[in-house]
Structure 1
């Protein structure tokens, strides 16, 4: 297994006779023993001294005349991988799977653990079942493990050069409400809202409020972890969609608090949280909720980190469609690019690497004339003109555009190193352009073929919607 390295302190726990004392001994490159812990309500918990990355170690728990020893234990960073089916998507199913599986033996210091599916109406102290106990990667083991989780861990190991522990806990077809505690749901008015009849009958049990939090996350809270990566949101495209801008950030905040407290204050209270912005599903859909969920994944800001979602990072995946995926278009097989984009965010946000570009271009200024709209981005851009993906809302009212507003395509007229100029002529009166949005569709472009990228060509611009009038007046400049 892998335990969390210094400067955090790893937490260990187990079972014993009520009132007995348990002492834990660490032996290996460094040795020490813990202060004896008393078994209370059948459980003991100890916190090790900080241990630098490396190993292997033996960890022995001793109580009276009995002992148990864990062998081949490493210290590194623990990442929890959660979400629904695109996180569950197995390494054997991705593009170039055979090559990836063949690499497994080269990464013995990336260790894997996987919870089994389970549900509970109450918060559990232990997992109902373990699908994969702590294991070194082999082709057989890895074939059933999360591809995004594995690739992220492998890429981070290549960068960090010390052990990585990956804990997979996910279930396909599940909404954020099932992974959220009652505390978090109350913040968004969802504690009693369970419109599960909007979802297929086969999924209703595991979509109930908090049942997966109770059974598949709460038992892990004693563990000291470094961070979380998350891939979920498809199930909320038609289920409490309009509340996702509250429920998702609330879940992140609640997980942070719970892991901090559960680990005896060893998991940092603002641990890094990375997520995948939804990929594609229906090529010709005009209203399936995916654009809105992508926006809500950022708490309606458009990018992360932001004031509402601090120390978060995001992998944009809307330019990675897979029309011929045998697992359905909702499950694209290119998980390598997804994981790579997550690692860029982790390097910048979780590991404080400087000068790592980890977000695609995002507007920081909009100006308009009587015939055009000029968007200035926060970084240099690479622009391809053929398909615009920009739209403008035509409205006579000086107010934010709503669901019934008229949106028309806005052609790209020109572009510069950091800007794109759009035509506003498709409004009957170009001065009536009241909002602009980008890539506001489920399937906006072909594979890596959206119009706006970072200058490196690797990071697509995320979707956005910006209103000219925000209730306090015009926020666009005129030129």
Structure 2
């Protein structure tokens, strides 16, 4: 656990103790619940706690139109020491108080959309460790105090599943105008919620559950690992199989969610790399299914957003990051796709950060770029706003034109593009073998760079790549930005959409006939 998280434990101990986690007339709430929280709109939500509870819960609300309502809710005792109650369904902006006893209440609860954010250290990277952090935190206090709220689970791993485990909270629910709390909140998670709120005006509840340096296997249930034939790992730390699923995801399956956000994969670059195209899609389906079965309010096809791995070491020819990025899309290149339905992504390969230490390097400070692109795609996939793009220009047709002893590859894209002639690189690579064989091993040295003068934009949606510098083109393959760190300048990849969003083209590769 980092120094910032240890400090946070001290700062917020009194806050955590002040809300419903301590005993009140013989019953307690699960630690997830506290004042100022967000419940998922449009569905039933489950509130649960501990003890023997034989009284009714009063749900008193002010509806969106100002009408006041009150309703008694009957809890059920699900085990000797665990009770739960299902709340009424309400639209966004409904504000409620839940009274359990004279001294135990949940107040200033608002209905909106709830997102679960997870992964490793780039999701964990907090608001005080990004570019322009002071300005961002001040802006949040001024403009988003009501509309964006957040909470964060403490780092806990468990070797066994316990559906009734009362997980600790790193941050109890807080509003965006609590600047001290916001310093310690996941930046990608919060900034995504802020961007979504700007467009939809639906209150956003952002729940953070992450752990730096962790692998996808730790966040997966045994069902996922069995389905993908993952070799067993029970090494006793936070990277052992299933332990973060057990400790940080399974205990909150009763929570109704709008969807999920994920930023992880660095730790799998050299660990079960070539299983990631199974484990990651399988984990998505497993989380969706289990939340939908237990919470009752999470959709089986709940939207799932992720961030492709950002740049790290300049001039690296290691293959871990390029291959993981490909596997993050189930080897298709874009999402959503037939194997990853209702999934969306952000591609931040133009956010290289030369700063040494933390933040910087593998933890780029430019999380605003990541979150903006993720929100664009989320507005399309999760909210049906099709004017927002899911990704940058992407090839829909590849043709080869033979010219004596060489080949020109013509790529037709699905939207208008800008090819930046002043970018550091052409962006294109050629390999004389199949794309799969070119990625075998730990290096991308089989992928040879195509010189800039060999690439041209011929019209608004077409780029040609002249392969006359290479031999044995037939049976080879072509790839785009197939490096750990393709470029070192912000916003300087070769291809972006020619519109207001300027979304970058994500990595792709194709076999040549």
TM-score by length of 1: 0.90
Deviates more, 1:100-109 or 1:351-360: 100-109
Matched, 1:392 2:421: no
Aligned-residue offset at 1:287: 1.5
The 1:25/1:325 distance shift into structure 2, 3 A limit, reads farther
Distance 1:339 1:325 in 2: 23
Aligned-residue offset at 1:120: 0.4
Query: Out of 57, 79, 89, which is 1:24 matched to?
Result: 57
Matched, 1:233 2:271: no
Matched, 1:246 2:285: no
Partner of 2:380: 348
SS at match of 1:209: coil
Deviates more, 1:168-177 or 1:448-457: 448-457
SS at match of 2:283: helix
SS at match of 1:98: helix
Partner of 2:15: none
Partner of 2:469: 426
Matched, 1:122 2:122: no
Matched, 1:335 2:344: no
Structure 1 alignment gaps of length 5 or more: 197-203, 469-473, 475-479
Q: Is the 8 A contact 1:427 1:433 kept in 2?
A: no
Deviates more, 1:70-79 or 1:452-461: 452-461
Matched, 1:216 2:248: yes
Aligned-residue offset at 1:283: 0.8
Matched, 1:294 2:334: no
Partner of 2:459: 416
SS at match of 1:304: coil
Distance 1:80 1:22 in 2: 31
Distance 2:292 2:37 in 1: 19
The 1:414/1:53 distance shift into structure 2, 3 A limit, reads closer
C-alpha deviations, 1:370-398, integer Å up to 9, x for none? 23110111111111134212112225xx9
SS at match of 2:333: coil
The 1:27/1:205 distance shift into structure 2, 3 A limit, reads same
Query: Out of 493, 499, 504, which is 1:450 matched to?
Result: 493
Aligned-residue offset at 1:3: 3.6
Aligned-residue offset at 1:155: 1.5
SS at match of 2:157: coil
Matched, 1:318 2:318: no
Query: Out of 422, 428, 438, which is 2:480 matched to?
Result: 438
The 1:459/1:392 distance shift into structure 2, 3 A limit, reads same
Query: Out of 482, 504, 512, which is 1:460 matched to?
Result: 504
Matched, 1:90 2:126: yes
The 1:46/1:352 distance shift into structure 2, 3 A limit, reads same
Distance 2:192 2:180 in 1: 19
The 1:399/1:362 distance shift into structure 2, 3 A limit, reads closer
Query: Out of 284, 289, 306, which is 2:315 matched to?
Result: 284
Distance 1:414 1:358 in 2: 23
SS at match of 1:92: helix
C-alpha deviations, 1:76-115, integer Å up to 9, x for none? 1111111100011010011111101112323222221111
Partner of 1:6: 41
Aligned-residue offset at 1:401: 4.5
Aligned-residue offset at 1:185: 0.9
Q: Is the 8 A contact 1:393 1:433 kept in 2?
A: no
Aligned-residue offset at 1:414: 4.1
Distance 1:340 1:326 in 2: 25
* Matching of residues 140-151 of structure 1 within 5 Å: 140-151=180-191
Structure 1 runs of 4+ aligned residues shifted over 6 Å read none
Partner of 1:201: none
Aligned-residue offset at 1:222: 0.6
Distance 1:406 1:260 in 2: 44
TM-score by length of 2: 0.84
Q: Is the 8 A contact 2:75 2:86 kept in 1?
A: no
Q: Is the 8 A contact 1:2 1:163 kept in 2?
A: no
Q: State the superposition RMSD in angstroms.
A: 2.0
Q: Is the 8 A contact 1:279 1:318 kept in 2?
A: yes
Matched, 1:49 2:93: no
Alignment: residue pair count: 452
Query: Out of 22, 27, 33, which is 2:72 matched to?
Result: 33
Distance 1:142 1:325 in 2: 24
Aligned-residue offset at 1:31: 2.2
Distance 2:55 2:469 in 1: 74
Deviates more, 1:102-111 or 1:31-40: 31-40
SS at match of 1:207: coil
Aligned-residue offset at 1:67: 6.7
Aligned-residue offset at 1:168: 0.7
The 1:372/1:167 distance shift into structure 2, 3 A limit, reads same
Aligned-residue offset at 1:21: 3.1
Distance 1:408 1:433 in 2: 15
Query: Out of 317, 337, 343, which is 1:306 matched to?
Result: 337
Deviates more, 1:421-430 or 1:360-369: 421-430
